[in-house]
Amino acid sequence: MARIYMHSALTCSTNLGFHFRSSSSHLHRLIFPTSLTLPHAKTQSSWTGRRVVAMDSSGTDSAKEVHVGLDSATEEEYATQSKLLQEFMSIPTLDKAWILSSDSGSQAMVAMSQANLLANKRRKFMLSALISKDETTSNQSSVNFHWAPFPVEMTGASAFVPSPSGLKLLVIRNPENESPTKFEIWSSSQLDKEFHIPQKVHGSVYLDGWFEGISWNSDETRVAYVAEEPSPPKPTFDHLGFYKKGTSSDKDIGSWKGQGDWEDEWGEAYAGKKQPALFVIDVDSGEVEHIKGVPRSISVGQVVWSPNSKGSAQYLVFAGWLGDKRKLGLKHCYNRPCAIYAVRCPEPKDDANEALPIHNLTKSISSGFCPRFSKDGKFLLFLSAKAAVDSGAHCSTESLHKISWPSDGKLPESTNIVDVIEVVNCPDDGCFPGLYVTGLLSDPWLSDGHTLILSSYWRSCRVILSLNLISGELSRVSPNDSDFSWSVLALDGDNVVAVSSSPVSVPEIKYGKKVLDPSGKPSWHWSTIQKPIFKCSEKVASGLSSLQFKILKVPVSNVSECLTEGAKRPFEAIYVSSSKTKENGKCDPLVVVLHGGPHTVAPCSFSKQLAYLSSIGYSLLIVNYRGSLGFGEDALQSVPGKIGSQDVNDVLSAVDHAVEMGLADPSRITVLGGSHGGFLTTHLIGQAPDKFVAAAARNPVCNIASMVGITDIPDWCFFEAYGDQTHYTEAPSPEDMSLFHQISPISHISKVKTPTLFLLGTVDLRVPISNGFQYVRALKEKGADVKVLVFPNDNHSLDRPQTDYESFLNIAVWFNKYCKL
C-alpha cells in the first residue's frame, strides 16, 4: 500500500507579531490621491488607491474631501516603485506538499498560491511531479522531479487532502455566505462523490492551521474534521414585535430575527468563530455525524484517528482548549491551557443521542497539542507549550512527550507522560537551543518507525532535525554549515523533501537522501531540484544576485543587570547589504527591522517585502533581540517585566554595533516594525529622537493602558509589564494603569521628531486601531510629520494582497523621501 506524507506551511508570528524631520503639519489618513491608479492606469486590470482626506489644523476631518495631487517627481516614483514591487509580490508561496509513494515510484504534489492584486485574494494552484532516482552510486544518486508542464488552478477550493493510499482526494469548499459546505471525493480521473452539508449541520470547516484537523481513517471510508458548530436558534418576532414560539425559517415573511445571547469568540482572526466542534463524514453515503460527549467548554482541533486494531475500539484523538470563563485570543498564543483528549468513534450499535465518554490523556501537564501516533501504534507523541502556560509568555520553548497507547483500546484512568525533549534554559554555544516547532508533519516518521523528522528554530535560522526516540539522539538533518533557513515539506520514504531560502535567495526545493557512514550513522546528501518552482523576473533575480547577508552576534550592553546566564549571552541580528563596493565608500541607508511578539523570531529566510527594500538600495538590520525564540528559555524570559527598556536597549546596541563595524551610516537610519515591533519602533523614536531619519509602524502597540481593556489578549499587557501572570485581572487598578502608561511609547511622545508612517487595520482585535490613532493624534498635536494609511477590512496581520502591496510601496517612498535615496 502506498503512503502519503503531508506538510502544512507554518508561519512564525506570535501574539503581537509581524514576521518583520519635516515642518509639514498635514496628516494624511489614507493612501493615494484620486488620480493614482495601480498597477496600470485606466485599464480593466487595475484597482484604485484610496483618496486622501485633508485634516484641519485642529486634527479633525474637514467637512469635504479635497483632491490632493502629487507633483510629477513623486508620481513618477510611485510608478517606478510599484512596477518593481509587483514583480516581487508575484513570486508564489508554497503552502503544502505531499509525496505519494507506491511500488511504481513517488509523485510530488505541491499546493501553492500567488497574490491576485485585482481580486485582493490569493490564487491557489497545484503542481505535480514524478520523482525519478538514479541509483548508480549509493551515496551520490541523482534525483529528478519531472514537473507537469503547467499548474492547475484550484478555483474555489478551500482545502485538499489526499487519502493515505493516495487513491482518493478530498476537496473542501467552504462557503462565503450561508450556503452549504461542499465535500468532493475525487479518484485519479473523475469526481466520484459530492456532498453539500447545510448550515444547520455545521458551518465552515476550520482551516486555520491551529484548530484545523482533517484526518482520513485507515480504510479510507470516513474523514474526521473540525467545523463550526451551528449557532443556537435566535428569537423570532412577528411584524408587530410579538415573540414567536418554536423555530422558524430565516426566510419567513412578516417576521424578524433577534440577536439572542452573545457568545464569546477566540479573538483576532476568529471573528464569527465561536465553537469548533468534531464531526465525521462517511465518504460513501455523505452522512455526517456530530461527535457528542465533548462539552461546549472545550474547543477542539487537530483531530487524528487512533490505530485500528482488530477487535478493539477506535478513538478520535484531538487537542482541546478550555474556554469556559473567557476565550482569550488564541491566534499565536501558545500559553492557553490545552490537553490531548480521546473519544471513542461512534459505531452503528451506539445510541445516536447518547454522549460518549471523553478521556483527558494529559491531566498532569498544562499543555498538549499536535498529537501523532507512532507507526506501530504503540505510543502517542505530542508537543507541549507548558513553559508558556506555566509562565504566562505567549510563546515559549516547547517540549516533546509521549504516552503508551493500549493495544486493547481500553484507556486507563491516568497515563504516564514520558519526556522526550525537555525545555532548554541556557544552551551552550553551538548546541541545541531548545524546541521551537509549533507543528509536525501528519506522518513525520522514517521507515524504522522510531526516527522523527521535524523543523525547529535554532537561533536566527530554521533547521531540520531528526530525533531517534529509542536512543534519544537528536541531530541536524539540514547542513550544519548553512545559515539559510530550512523547513521539511514531506518525506519520501527515508529521504527528505525540504525548502531552503535566505534573505537574499528565493526558496528552492531540496532533496535529502539518507546515507549511512561506515559506522552505520545516518547523514543526508542534499541536492537542489533543478527546475525552480519559485520563479522570479530577470530584474528581481539581478537585484538579488548583488545582495549578501551575514549574522551578527551583538554583545549585551548591561550584563550586570541580567538575572540568568542565558540572558547574558549575545543576541543576533541579520545584516543584509549590497555586495558591490561603493565608489565613495559610503554605506547604503539602513532599515532596522523589528519583529513582533516579543516572543517570536525573524529567521534567515526569504521575505518578498524585505527583499524588495534591499533591492532598491537599503541595507537591513533584522534584530532578534533577547526575548526572541530560538535562543533558550533564559533569554526568552529575560524581557517580560522589562519591555520598553531591555528590548529597546538591545535594538540600540545592535544599531550601534553595526555603525561601529562600518556597516551603517548614522545619518541615514530608518526603523520598521509591526505590533510589538511597532511598540519598539515608537519607543525608539521617543527614547532616541535623533537616531532615526524616518520610521514606519504597522498596527503598533502605543499605549498599553488604553489597549488593556479592548484587546483580545489583556493578559499579555499584565505579563509583559510585570513579568508574571499573577497580576492579571479584568479590572485593572490605578496602579496597573500607571505602570502600563509608564512603559508605553506614548510616555515619550514629547521627544518625538522622527517623520513616521503608520499602517493600521480597522478590524484588528489584537491592537485595536484606536491605540494607533491616539498616538497619531498626539503627534499631530505637537506638529510632527505623520502619514497614516488605514485599511478598512484588515486585521492585525495586514496581509491581504492589496494591503501588503500598498503598505510596502508607501514604506519605500516614505523612506526614500527622508533618506534622499
Q: Any catalytic annotation for residue 764? A: yes
Neighbours of 67 (CB within 10 A): 10
Report the 3 state secondary structure along 639-691.
Answer: CCCCCCCHHHHHHHHHHHHHHHCCCCCCCCEEEEEEEHHHHHHHHHHHHCCCC
Which triple of cell numbers denotes residue 592? 532596522
10 Å CB burial of residue 482 (0-12, 13-18, 19+) is middle
Which helix (H) or strand (E) element contains residue 790? strand 786-791
Distance CA 128, CA 376 (A): 30
Strand, coil or helix: what is 468? strand
Q: Judging by DSSP bridges, how do beta strands 756-761 and 786-791 pair with one another? A: parallel
- Angle of helix 676-687 relative to helix 646-660, nearest 10 degrees, comes to 70
Strand, coil or helix: what is 374? coil
Neighbours of 119 (CB within 10 A): 11
The one catalytic residue in 28, 595, 727, 796 is: 796
Distance CA 774, CA 710 (A): 14
Write the CA distances from 795 to 158, 479, 769, 809, integer angstroms: 20, 38, 9, 19
CB of 436 within 8 A of CB of 457?
Answer: yes
Q: Judging by DSSP bridges, how do beta strands 590-594 and 619-624 pair with one another? A: parallel
The one catalytic residue in 443, 588, 764, 785 is: 764
Q: Give the dihedral sign, CA 237/239/242/246.
A: negative
Neighbours of 73 (CB within 10 A): 7
Identify the CA nearest to 319 among candidates 277, 370, 276.
370
Which triple of cell numbers denotes residue 596? 513582533
Report the alpha-carbon angle 614-615-619, nearest 5: 25
Strand, coil or helix: what is 89? helix
Sheet strand arrangement including 255-257 = 243-244, 236-238, 255-257
Phi, psi dihedrals of residue 71, rounded to the nearest 5°: -70, 160
CB of 556 within 8 A of CB of 562?
Answer: yes
Cell 450556503 -> residue: 179
Report the 3 state secondary structure along 522-584.
Answer: EEEEEEECCCCCCCCCHHHHHHHHCEEEEEEEECCCCHHHCCCCHHHCCEEEEEEEECCCCCC
The one catalytic residue in 101, 500, 614, 675 is: 675
Distance CA 636, CA 647 (A): 11
Identify the CA nearest to 568 among candidates 621, 653, 626.
626
Q: What is the dihedral of CA 655, 660, 666, 672, to 10 degrees?
A: -20
Cell 498560491 -> residue: 113
Which helix (H) or strand (E) element contains residue 191? strand 191-197
Residues classed as catalytic: 675, 764, 796
